[in-house]
Amino acid sequence: MKFLLTALLCSGISSTCLTPHTFPEAYDDVYSCMMDGYTKSLEKMEEIGREEVNTHHIFVKFSCDILITPPKKPAPKSKIDKEAKV
């Protein structure tokens, strides 16, 4: 089972969040995903800076959700396979 990290950047002043961002990396377990979520949240807060965070009461929400993959379709049978059965 794989997990995807999705994060939202929000403002407590305006009570709004930007569009969720799902990172492309798939994690092998919830722990790895959560730990990276905390790391990426910290990096984003540092990037935004104290003044903007304090002015807009910015915070990050994130979740680690199961990556659902559709089942593999069987390979189409070739013309040779069809003729061999006849």
- Choice between 31 and 76, residue whose per-residue pLDDT is larger: 31
pLDDT of residue 32: 98
C-alpha angle 10-42-46 in degrees, rounded to nearest 5: 85
What distance lies between CA 83 and its chain's CA centroid?
A: 46
Q: Which alpha helices (DSSP H) does 18-76 contain, by range?
A: 30-48, 50-56
Backbone angles phi, psi at 31, to 5 degrees: -55, -50
Q: What is the pLDDT of residues 49-69, one digit of tens each?
A: 999 999 999 999 999 999 988
